[in-house]
Structure 1
């Protein structure tokens, strides 16, 4: 209950700050929507030259993209830690974090949250509704529950990977990191993995499992039976990677030397 109370206090303070600069908030929301629209236009351009992409139709890939936007929006809202190396380790703000009687990762996550990114959930649902209508997808009574489970699993996959990457800063003390590159690699998860070669497919499934954010869970709703085992692995992969990242983070904190060293 203590952590729940702290969460809502952080959210309240965040909303007070953001609403003080409403124009800036609106610009950020619009820019995010434009970025998502550009990616959608890219898919449409690709399918302007072909009818199928490794057996996947245009509407199926649009559906996958829409699904991908939902867990990615959750991740972007609460795990925006791309600048952890520079801000918290190199500049020493992590010293301040360690003086408080609350888990360090919990503080970092809430300090860096961007709740406006949650609009991506609405965008993703709208894209899925459009593509699902064209594909004549009918949801069974239990599928909304599976949808929530798959979305949370995909968000945990993203969170686990980037928390693990942020944890490397405790050992490296480097100002730069591989975060930007990893963000670009994560975009591969919004497309069917069988359009890539076997090496990339393996990496996106078992090393950096971004495929569990988009294509694998959404394949269940597209009735791609050959991918069903991977679909149901999504929550387990997400939980597994997230737990691993927490363990790595805790070990890294033990080795943190402080800004004065």
Structure 2
């Protein structure tokens, strides 16, 4: 408990410093927020355009897919807020900043996450909720009193899946000096998780479910709220998948740290 309070205290300090730094250049800060919003709206427009030509996508309606897309945005936004691994290779391995991190008492992964925190990504959560709300109204969805609690649990589980996958990928950098690694490829694969998996072939469905389980951050949990009973079992397993893959990510990370020999070797 004491360690958790310590990390939360450091988190609050980092958060304060982040806003002081970013708000020193307010135009850039708000410009980036607008840019992120436009990017998400472009993806939404793509879905709308597709459904102007086809009424259904393998029995999924336009508003159902919009709902899935909105849900998909939320765990991804939370992941992006806390796990800023995009420049890990360049910053911590090639520039040698991992050596500095390893000299401090706080767990090295917590330090990397805190130093890369991006609170502005919270607007992705707001965007996702708005998109889900619009789709829910169009679909006339009804919810039970416990659905908000399930929603939070499924979102957190989705964030853990992202965190586990990308933590493991970042750990590969301990064995390689590549500037980009395979993160861009994985990022492209994750985009498939925002669409129903039954529109893909068996190989892609298998990858999105068991290898890189991005279906568990989009279509599977969202299907529960859409009352798609066929996918209820997958939605129920989302927390299990989150815990398992985040644990795998931590194991791979700790293994990489043990094998890391420093920037000067």
Residues 191-241 of structure 1: per-residue CA shift (max 9 Å, x gap): 000000000000000000000000000000001001000001111101110
- 5+ residue gaps in structure 2? none
Q: Distance in 2 between matches of 1:137 and 1:78?
A: 31
Q: Does 1:135 align with 2:132?
A: no
Which residue of structure 1 lines up, in the alignment, with residue 128 of structure 2?
A: 124
Which residue of structure 1 lines up, in the alignment, with residue 53 of structure 2?
A: 49
* Equivalent residue for 2:64, pick from 55, 60, 70: 60
Q: Does 1:235 align with 2:239?
A: yes
* Equivalent residue for 1:74, pick from 69, 72, 78: 78
Q: Look up the SS of the partner of 1:141 in the other structure.
A: coil
Q: Distance in 2 between matches of 1:91 and 1:175?
A: 10
Residue 189 of structure 1: how far off its partner (Å): 0.5
Q: Distance in 1 between matches of 2:193 and 2:84?
A: 18
Residue 12 of structure 1: how far off its partner (Å): 1.1
Q: Distance in 2 between matches of 1:125 and 1:2?
A: 31
Residue 175 of structure 1: how far off its partner (Å): 2.5
Residue 174 of structure 1: how far off its partner (Å): 2.4
CA RMSD of aligned residues (A): 0.8
Residue 100 of structure 1: how far off its partner (Å): 1.0
Moved more, 146-155 or 75-84: 75-84
Q: Does 1:153 align with 2:170?
A: no
Q: Distance in 2 between matches of 1:160 and 1:52?
A: 34
Q: How many residues align?
A: 261
Q: Distance in 1 between matches of 2:92 and 2:70?
A: 33
- 5+ residue gaps in structure 1? none
Structure 1 stretches of 4+ moved >4 Å: none
Q: Look up the SS of the partner of 1:236 in the other structure.
A: helix
Q: Look up the SS of the partner of 2:237 in the other structure.
A: helix
Q: Does 1:107 align with 2:116?
A: no
Which residue of structure 1 lines up, in the alignment, with residue 256 of structure 2?
A: 252
Residue 3 of structure 1: how far off its partner (Å): 1.1
Moved more, 5-14 or 194-203: 5-14
In the superposition, the TM-score normalised over structure 2's length comes to: 0.97
In the superposition, the TM-score normalised over structure 1's length comes to: 0.98
